[in-house]
Chains A and B, each alone.
Chain A
Amino acid sequence: MDDRTLYERCLDGDELAWEHLVRRYQGRVCSVAYSYTGSDEEAMDVAQEVFIRVWKRLDSCRDPERFAAWLLRIARNACLDHLRRRKARPPAQDVPAEDLASLADPGKRPDADVQARDERDVLEIAMQRLSPINREAILLKDIQGLPLEEMADMLDLPLGTVKSRCSRARVELARIVGGLIGPGPEAEATS
């Protein structure tokens, strides 16, 4: 069933359609939330918040054909709100600076030792090491597959700026991945 039909059924109060819609998009929303928060737990909370927002504003989607883009926009806004709240929220208790290193999650943090060589793990670590602006560009364009025009609209930027941002982001990502997986055979042969 396509998004438009599902959306219209949801508007009519069909709870099965809503369940289907949640199942269809929960993975994508969680992926977006993880890209912004870098934490599985926070990503789940934000994703839940996203779907509640969507449910409350279900009648405000202007173009059901572009439901996915509308959902991603809400997801992005919810993530930014979450990051703002997290920034403003004081820590629950003071932690001495020397203890911070031992509290870090070694597998998930950008500055952690990279043990995993699985391609997905490498990509996720590389994504977390990207600058926030470049990470967002890769996330929206190359991971979620939004058209450039949609991205420009969402980020409120000129199309040319979005194109060059994507281009720079890919190169930065490739450099980070290259650093994580080590020099390729060609580079080794050259050196």
Chain B
Amino acid sequence: VTGNPFDSHDRRRRFDDPDLTRRILDQTSGRACGRAEELLGGRWDGMLAAGDQELLMGHLDRCPACRELSLILDRLQPALPGLAEREPGPAFTARVLARTSRRQPVPNTRYPGRLERLAERLEHGLRRLWQRPRFALEAAWTAATLAALLVWGPLAPADAPDQAANLVRSGSAAVPELVTRVQQLKDSALLVGREVFGPRLDRLEQRVSRLTARAEHLRTEGLALWRSLTGDDGPDDQTDQNRRDDQRPPADE
């Protein structure tokens, strides 16, 4: 036995022997290093309770392995954010931009995604329909069917077939009447178009004007054909013009 057995300080020092602690722990709960590691790993988040902190410090004072681990962890904590970025090189940005920026910008809509995609699909579908080669033919068939429905359909006025028949019987005299009605239709369409389409009105007006010119051309040719076939003079151009002028609404003063 070494030391003075009556010296309380010396006695405490001997009883504090780490070997004694290890021997006791080996026969009871086992070493506490596992629990210390749990706390060491969680210490970075700053959520270690005061009691846990005290117990951990007590363990670190006596366990060199855990103290070593703690020192490494203390060095790692400030170093890890340094890995947050990795320089990809100057060509990277250019490559990414080349593959992205050429697209149309994404509109900032209130309902991102759905409405935008729906409108895109609708526009695409209409454009494809418009560009089909047989679109004009199909549109003509549809117009003819609609006209037939208007004349002979269940909602048509009772005298509609008679009016249509009279129109056909009147021959060349009906042509100026038709042109006048087309003109009226054009004016109504422009009125509606001005309200609905706004800025696209100019283009629409140009198209309708071209259509009217084409109808006028057809009328002239039709009259010439009629005259050559029947020998009938038909209504002269001047009379047609006067009739159209009479039916136009007066110009604003």
Where the two chains meet, the residues of A that have a C-beta atom closer than 8 Å to any C-beta of B are 8, 10-15, 18-19, 22-23, 26-28, 30-31, 34-35, 43-44, 47-48, 51-52, 55, 58-60, 119-120, 123-124, 127, 138, 142-145, 148, 163-164, 166-171, 173-175, 177-178, 183-184, 186-187, 190
Contact with A along B73-93 (1 / 0, CB 8 A): 100110111111111110011
Are A13 and B93 in touch, CB under 8 angstroms?
no
The answer to whether B81 touches A177 (Cβ under 8 A) is no
Query: Given A15-B101, A174-B76, A184-B68, are A27 and B93 neighbors across the interface (CB < 8 Å)?
Result: no
- Residue on B with the closest CB to A15? B101
Chain B interface (Cβ within 8 Å of chain A)? Answer: 37-38, 40-42, 44-45, 64-65, 67-69, 71-73, 76-77, 79-89, 92-93, 95-97, 99-101, 103-109, 112-113, 116
A97 to B229 Cα, complex, angstroms = 96
Per DSSP, chain A at the interface is: helix
Number of CB contacts from chain A to chain B under 8 A:
147
How far is A48 from B96 in the complex, measured between Cα atoms in Å?
Answer: 6
**Which residues of chain B are near A144, meaning CB under 8 Å?**
84
Q: Tell me, in angstroms, the Cα distance from A175 to B116 when the chains sit together.
A: 53
**Are A167 and B69 interface neighbours, CB within 8 A?**
no
B73 partner residues in chain A, CB cutoff 8 A: 170-171, 174
In the complex, which residues of chain A have a beta carbon less than 8 angstroms from the beta carbon of B106? Answer: 10-11, 13, 58-59
How far apart are B74's CB and chain A's nearest CB, in angstroms?
9
Chain B residues contacting A26 (CB-CB under 8 Å) are 88, 92-93, 96
A86 to B234, CA, bound (A): 84
CB pair B112–A59 under 8 Å, yes or no, is yes
29 pairs, CB–CB < 8 Å, chain A vs chain B: A10-B106, A18-B100, A23-B93, A27-B85, A31-B85, A31-B86, A35-B83, A43-B86, A43-B88, A48-B95, A48-B99, A51-B96, A120-B82, A120-B83, A123-B83, A143-B80, A143-B81, A144-B84, A145-B81, A148-B45, A167-B41, A170-B41, A171-B37, A171-B41, A173-B76, A174-B73, A175-B69, A187-B64, A187-B65
